[in-house]
Amino acid sequence: MNSIFHFKHPWFSAIFFFCAALVIANVVHYVLFRVLKHKEKQRLGVGLGLQRYLGGPARAIFLLTCVLLALPFLPISNDIEKLLQHGFVMAMVVALGWFVVGCVYVLQAFMLRKYDLTVANNIRARRIHTQFQVFRRMLITFVIVIDIGVLLWTFNDPRIWHYGSGLLASAGIATLVLATAAKSTASNFLAGLQIALTEPIRIDDVVVVEGEWGKIEEITSAYVVLKIWDLRRLIIPLSYFIENSFANWTRESADILGTAFLYVDYSIPVEALREQLNRIVKDAPQWDKKVCGLQVTNLSEHTMEIRCLVSSPDSSSSFDLRCLIREQMTAWIQQNYPNAFPTTRFASLPDSVNREQQPSSNPQPMPR
């Protein structure tokens, strides 16, 4: 009976310490992140995503630390203990790499907390968001390479140490080899660096690509996602924006000029149209009160082309304002000058001219 008790007693102690370690790790994790979340909202007034980005890796680090502390209490042989310890150390290295990646996301949220993309004039915010997206991916790639090298260094075999050191030392050569083997991928990666530095496009920019109008929704390391006005997504390689021409409507500022064309008869008074345009845009919330003009831009044999030029704070407001001007100007012309729409005129000739041009009903016979 005593032998059975002594056989089970070490396992009982080990399981007790292991469960106690798990409980302590979870309690410490819960208390720590509750305090951090409270301080985060109290000092910054905005969340940095500590629980979202660091909660998982921090819990894994706490648990692995407690497991490593409880491992010596297990009644197992030294070989098995060393094998388990090495496995847990490798898991710890992976968890630490995961934690560093989460720190990169938290750093991005901290740096971007003052740059709001939802404001009207968000040029600087779009610039900073675009650059941080590119640099964040580069940092995460660097962290993953370092983490793989550290994983190889955890082995006691000098040859594997050599592989771990060579992985970092040969990163430059590997980059050249991969660039040669995957030319398009490398060109897109370099194009991403050029876009981050020269800024031909930014997040939330309004562009026209291949005849499609939309907003830059996401810039990845290989492609750009363009959200089209009808909610479709156009996937474009990064290199396209370096090698081809495209229209960027919000390159310098978000405000934009919009036009609405009217085609009317010569008989309509232009000054009355100008006054009506001013009344329409004065009550329109889409107008930024900067530009409002009406001009005759072209004349043809049938119609007169009228251009209504107005300004708006952004491209979406400009589209809505142009549609509003077309609708209300057309309705006003219908009510006040219904005959001023394009018409086709026919003129009848005098009766004397018609009789002269009309052929005779009794033609004379041809002489023989």
| Each residue's pLDDT expressed in tens, for the chain with a length of 368 residues | 444 444 445 566 666 666 776 777 677 767 776 776 666 555 554 556 677 787 788 888 877 887 787 777 666 777 777 778 888 888 888 888 888 888 888 888 877 777 776 666 666 777 777 777 777 877 888 888 888 877 777 776 666 555 555 555 555 555 555 445 445 555 666 777 777 777 888 888 889 898 888 888 888 877 889 998 888 999 998 888 888 888 888 777 777 888 999 999 988 999 999 999 999 999 899 998 889 999 999 998 888 999 999 999 888 888 899 999 999 999 999 999 988 887 766 666 566 555 555 555 555 554 44
Instruction: Give the per-residue pLDDT at 241.
Output: 86
Is 135 domain-assigned? Answer: no
Residue 93 and residue 35 share a domain: yes
Instruction: Give the per-residue pLDDT at 121.
Output: 65
Last residue of a domain, one of 192, 221, 253: 253
Q: Spell out the long-range contacts of 167-174 with Cβ–Cβ below 8 A and sequence spacing 24 or more.
A: 171/145
What is the C-alpha to C-alpha distance for residues 60 and 26, in angstroms, rounded to an integer?
Answer: 10
Is 271 domain-assigned? Answer: yes
Residue 297 and residue 239 share a domain: no
Instruction: Give the per-residue pLDDT at 368.
Output: 44
The enclosing domain of 194 has a CATH number of 2.30.30.60
Is 153 domain-assigned? Answer: yes
Residue 166 and residue 244 share a domain: yes
Is 130 domain-assigned? Answer: no
Angular region, 224: left φ>0, alpha ψ -120 to 50, beta rest: beta
* Residue type at position 343: T
Helix (H) or strand (E) holding 302, with range, is none
Asked whether the beta carbons of 213 and 229 are under 8 A apart, the reply is yes
Residue 246 and residue 222 share a domain: yes
Structure-token pair, residue 116: 């709001």
**77: containing domain:** 2-114
Q: Exposure pattern of 295-312 as b/e (b: 16+ CB <10 Å)?
A: eeeeeeeebbebebebbb
Q: How far is CA 323 from CA 125, 284, 316, 326, in A?
A: 29, 12, 11, 5
Is 131 domain-assigned? Answer: no
Instruction: Give the per-residue pLDDT at 181.
Output: 46
Instruction: Give the per-residue pLDDT at 3.
Output: 44
* Sign of the Cα pseudo-torsion (190, 192, 196, 201, in order): positive
Residue 223 and residue 266 share a domain: no
Is 267 domain-assigned? Answer: yes
Asked whether the beta carbons of 247 and 287 are under 8 A apart, the reply is no
Residue 271 and residue 234 share a domain: no
Last residue of a domain, one of 68, 92, 114: 114
Q: Which residue has the tokens 């290989």?
A: 222
Residue 266 and residue 238 share a domain: no
